[in-house]
Structure 1
């Protein structure tokens, strides 16, 4: 057989052998079956997974070792304090409030009561003593929750060690990266420190709400005694705060704090820390610390604190803020608002010294119930109190308090204001119209001087809120803040010089160095003296004989009432002896308050407060002497139009009319009888000069133009 034939025969034999092996079920030297391939892939997955896990553990070990070596020592961690402590002081140096972190005495682990330690472990991390910083059971539960979307979670995923790591080194972001770093740091803490050291750090640094950091600060804040004296019930209340300090705070919601403490006691019993009898302690019988009743000061401190970001460079050291608030006046203001505000309504008060320093501020009837500051944030219609700017513009344009005006029905661009009593008195004086807050006169004045001029006057005195310039604006239809309106009246009290309210005089650092000191601003352009005298005359008349009689305190007072439609808002703003005070009352939902008028409850609250505010100040009489400028002292009405013998004549519409073209119906002065001979003829005939005609000549003064005011942007 040839070599080629032998090769063909061998190929045929191998083919038959493979065919036979396939028919015999894979026995012999055939291909492996599907189960064999599956086992091989499973083995590879396990091997690779184990390798990756080992690599991850090595990497984690290096990360933990590096983190542990980078951690500060125990003494450094013990000394660190989160946040910045700010002490706010009154004008006499008394402490008003301390905000930011508050720290009690450092409690060593051996001095911490077992009930406190056990309560915290029971509610926050029951496997604390057995894990290495991360609880695998909790981690697994978190992963299952993430996959299934289940919300039936018993507790948080962070252990006590993880919480400590977050409090010391991280923020509260819920990102995967932050959780990973938190876990690494927790393992590093467990590596470097003992369980007792970790627990000591945690209990002395965890936040319990109300600015209290650490169990001793919390015990003193809520129970008025150190942490070493904590009972089982008190420990349960404190331990329950960690989950949500603001929700379970006993000073904010006693029942929520008690309910949460009952949960903690149940967990302590389940885990064997206390007996069933001890778990039945009556938490509601725990004596809580009585909170200071004068909570209204927080309206002022809440207004002051954000200003520190503007006036101070970035600093984290403890600081002291010296303010303008008078403690006695603040108490008097709080009492005045609480005693006079109608039921179901709210009240607000702002009081300024003659330079704009805030002496008292009340933003509501109860700060604990509502911390919304109605003195600085609420926008409400001022009603007739807005007429201050209408009459200021009229006085600056040439009116005087004695000028006659007419109270008569009027319609301006389709708007027809009416007086509160529905009647019109006819001719009256400007003083009377202001004192009795006659709306039709204010509408006519606003229309005459221009609504834009009224708005410009308000802007000049510190009104920054939006002002509409439709006719109804003269009756206070634009919404204003109490502090704005009070600021404007204070500018009038300061001889017509606009001023700016302020509450901080200086800020000092931890070592006493002055970080900020207020400097008096450059005075702004003010009003002419005769305008200030005129408006003060009107404001004083409103208290003496007008709508503000309830604001009389036995010494000169100038002010104005304000009442909006349907008695939704009541205002009184006035000044005496250098103190300017604004009072507002109304409902937050802007519903009507029966019987609410500016001349009643707000004026009564003003008087109750001002009697105390000015008791130690000398009585000051108002200067209402009206020294008018020359342009207002015209000798007669004819001076504004020119003499009949002048070359031109100005008619009542302001049009120039040449002689001989006047209105034939208009009566002209009778001409003098003509002379029999001219002066030239008589001089020539007599041979000498005649004496000059000594007929007195009248000087005519023309009114200067109104002040050129740049139209504001409304």
Structure 2
């Protein structure tokens, strides 16, 4: 009985247990959340393991500390002129290697403050710094600030390049972790301060100190250390030899960070502007050219760190003459720029300013300024292509286009003149009329065709040069005219070789493109030559044929002269960097004089070349309205005045009707005497399409030749002004 009772109790217990609700399985989003967490954790562990292995093998492959000290990671570049002479040597300048004990503590503190404030607490990569940068970007303008630690920068400078790719950043992080695992913080900072680039070819703080302050880095003051530390972010921008104000402003930022981080007392008074800088006399005008040409090596060459020699197009004598002509002719307080191209686009000389030591800003390639009347090149090119010739008559008179009334420079008007005279004396009213007739968009398209890369306005005042452009682009455009209307591509590198003579790159002639027909190039050359012979460019005469154009903007803010002779094309600009007025600055004065001073030397060994100004017009400009009377009518089909098709070579019997398109009887054949037809009364037959449609269909600018040529060129009618979007202030 006892056993039966116990069995009964056990059964009851089992039933009771079975009735209790069990743990429900996860379903829906909870299940997916759990799986995501587990998979994420697994992947994270796998990534950490992979990263650990990568760091381990990277650390094993790293050079020893002594090997890293002996490694020079910079490249020596010798730049040669077109005749092979060395014009400048660029590359590493290493001072004395300073041990950690020899480096002033203020230098270490300045560098850590501005480049890596958490240097002593991270392990090569700073997750907190990255998180802070992401937060600042999200709360600010969306731009992520630099997050590389000092260790990462060292890894990049020694082992990698500066490409902004994800692969390079990942390799940089792995190498930084490897460096931290192999070397102490003190060793890494020592390597960094002795190897980082500070601009001007200076690598390491000792080289930088000697270059900028004329003493070794062991004697650096707090202000000097702040200036050097501030250079790492942008060595060329903050270089004290290039821009003292920028260097001082950057040093003030470094000092502020040092105070915020407690590395110098808050009460410390440090004045970077009082630092005595070394006078650098080694720079000259050649550096404008090398600053422009050397960055192109990143595109032209495969990645290499071995010493190289760059053979350029620069002519040493022309460069020296260009510098002297700009410096001696530029008005006081203004700057000057010059670019000279050979007929194939090779740059013979380049001047970006009156003094490279004072400012290395290259106004020949970087500055954008209004070209004034030099822009009329494109206006007249468009007019010539539309059918005008230098002999055509135009009217220099007051004109208003959409409330814009251009005025001539002298305020006078010449009345009826030809196109050649209007261009030579730079008549603004005529340029406005021509631009209005051919279309301002057509003028803009012509400028684009000739190599203008800056934005171009299509307001009426654009014909007078209100759109800003670069000296090198305008010079390129005039060089294309000199080349007979063929495109010209400026270049500065002929070839690049290694120190052993192996050729790494050699310039290939650019593919030429015809920009305008040769008769248009001949016509504009005719106008440009007249502008120098008798017009506003008289000061550019050099005793041989010269073609060119002056340019002056309102209030004499910019002065230009661009021209060519004997295959050399040279553009000159003068003006102030702040675009203020320069008294007496006009394109026909100082710029033209500088042009002449340079060109007399530039072409002295070249044969005199006469310009091709003979206009061989295309047939559509030569054929009169009665073109079918030329030749023998028996040689081709033609349509008579009644619309009948006359078959060639078939004699028509008296009274026999000719084949009629409409099935009507044809009248007698047209008279062979042209005068007889011209004397007939004109039938009042409505045209098939409107004149407006014909204008649009044929480009809107082609000249319609009268049936009876007048005894002298007819005055060109002024078309009705086209509406524009907005009047521009430039005159």
Compute the TM-score of the two structures, normalised by the length of structure 1.
0.63
Secondary structure in 1 matching 2:478? helix
Residue 576 of structure 1: aligned partner:
565
Deviation at 1:646, TM superposition (A): 8.2
> Is the contact between residue 91 and residue 322 of structure 1 (CA under 8 Å) also seen in structure 2?
yes
Deviation at 1:621, TM superposition (A): 3.3
Deviation at 1:630, TM superposition (A): 6.8
User: Are 1:291 and 2:281 counterparts?
Assistant: yes
Q: Which has the higher contact order (CA 8 A, sep 6+)?
A: 2
User: Are 1:418 and 2:407 counterparts?
Assistant: yes
Which residue, out of 555, 561, 575, partners 2:544? 555
User: Are 1:303 and 2:292 counterparts?
Assistant: yes
Please give the alpha-carbon distance, in whole angstroms, between the structure 1 residues aligned to 2:523 and 2:541: 20
Please give the alpha-carbon distance, in whole angstroms, between the structure 2 residues aligned to 1:124 and 1:561: 52
Deviation at 1:618, TM superposition (A): 2.5
User: Are 1:379 and 2:354 counterparts?
Assistant: no
- List aligned pairs for 1:379-398, cutoff 5 A: 379-398=368-387
Secondary structure in 1 matching 2:505? strand
Q: Cα–Cα, structure 1 residues 291 and 448, in superposed 2: closer, same or farther, change >3 Å?
A: same
Deviation at 1:519, TM superposition (A): 0.8
> Is the contact between residue 207 and residue 242 of structure 1 (CA under 8 Å) also seen in structure 2?
no
- List aligned pairs for 1:130-169, cutoff 5 A: none
Residue 213 of structure 1: aligned partner:
203
- List aligned pairs for 1:350-499, cutoff 5 A: 350-499=339-488
> Is the contact between residue 162 and residue 185 of structure 1 (CA under 8 Å) also seen in structure 2?
no
Deviation at 1:366, TM superposition (A): 3.8
Which residue, out of 89, 112, 117, partners 2:80? 89
Please give the alpha-carbon distance, in whole angstroms, between the structure 1 residues aligned to 2:92 and 2:333: 36
Please give the alpha-carbon distance, in whole angstroms, between the structure 1 residues aligned to 2:610 and 2:149: 70
User: Are 1:78 and 2:69 counterparts?
Assistant: yes
C-alpha deviations, 1:516-543, integer Å up to 9, x for none? 2111123212544443333222211111
> Is the contact between residue 431 and residue 538 of structure 1 (CA under 8 Å) also seen in structure 2?
yes
Higher Rg: 1
Deviation at 1:161, TM superposition (A): 9.3
Q: More displaced, 432-441 or 81-90?
A: 81-90
Residue 48 of structure 1: aligned partner:
none
Please give the alpha-carbon distance, in whole angstroms, between the structure 1 residues aligned to 2:149 and 2:559: 55
Please give the alpha-carbon distance, in whole angstroms, between the structure 1 residues aligned to 2:401 and 2:319: 44
Deviation at 1:573, TM superposition (A): 0.6
Deviation at 1:437, TM superposition (A): 0.9
Residue 610 of structure 2: aligned partner:
622
Q: More displaced, 350-359 or 325-334?
A: 325-334
Which residue, out of 194, 208, 228, partners 1:241? 228
Q: Cα–Cα, structure 1 residues 93 and 385, in superposed 2: closer, same or farther, change >3 Å?
A: same
Please give the alpha-carbon distance, in whole angstroms, between the structure 2 residues aligned to 1:164 and 1:469: 51
Residue 591 of structure 1: aligned partner:
580
Q: Cα–Cα, structure 1 residues 81 and 449, in superposed 2: closer, same or farther, change >3 Å?
A: same
> Is the contact between residue 55 and residue 175 of structure 2 (CA under 8 Å) also seen in structure 1?
no
Root mean square deviation of aligned Cα: 5.7
Please give the alpha-carbon distance, in whole angstroms, between the structure 2 residues aligned to 1:500 and 1:171: 30
Please give the alpha-carbon distance, in whole angstroms, between the structure 1 residues aligned to 2:450 and 2:238: 46
Secondary structure in 2 matching 1:507? strand
C-alpha deviations, 1:645-678, integer Å up to 9, x for none? 9869xxxxxxx999766479xxxxxxxxxxxxxx
Residue 513 of structure 2: aligned partner:
524
Deviation at 1:372, TM superposition (A): 3.5
Q: Cα–Cα, structure 1 residues 546 and 641, in superposed 2: closer, same or farther, change >3 Å?
A: farther
Please give the alpha-carbon distance, in whole angstroms, between the structure 2 residues aligned to 1:517 and 1:180: 37
Please give the alpha-carbon distance, in whole angstroms, between the structure 1 residues aligned to 2:111 and 2:434: 71
> Is the contact between residue 352 and residue 362 of structure 2 (CA under 8 Å) also seen in structure 1?
yes
Residue 51 of structure 1: aligned partner:
none
Deviation at 1:288, TM superposition (A): 3.3
Deviation at 1:489, TM superposition (A): 0.6
> Is the contact between residue 124 and residue 159 of structure 1 (CA under 8 Å) also seen in structure 2?
no
User: Are 1:507 and 2:496 counterparts?
Assistant: yes
C-alpha deviations, 1:71-122, integer Å up to 9, x for none? 42234323433455544433233444455x6143775x7xx89866788679
Deviation at 1:641, TM superposition (A): 10
Compute the TM-score of the two structures, normalised by the length of structure 2.
0.62
- List aligned pairs for 1:299-338, cutoff 5 A: 299-338=288-327
C-alpha deviations, 1:320-374, integer Å up to 9, x for none? 3322122332232233323333333332221111111111222233445444433
Q: Cα–Cα, structure 1 residues 115 and 159, in superposed 2: closer, same or farther, change >3 Å?
A: farther
Q: Cα–Cα, structure 1 residues 499 and 190, in superposed 2: closer, same or farther, change >3 Å?
A: closer
Secondary structure in 2 matching 1:399? coil
Q: Cα–Cα, structure 1 residues 106 and 531, in superposed 2: closer, same or farther, change >3 Å?
A: same
Aligned residues: 574
Q: Cα–Cα, structure 1 residues 372 and 218, in superposed 2: closer, same or farther, change >3 Å?
A: closer
Secondary structure in 1 matching 2:423? helix
Q: Cα–Cα, structure 1 residues 114 and 486, in superposed 2: closer, same or farther, change >3 Å?
A: same
Q: More displaced, 436-445 or 242-251?
A: 242-251
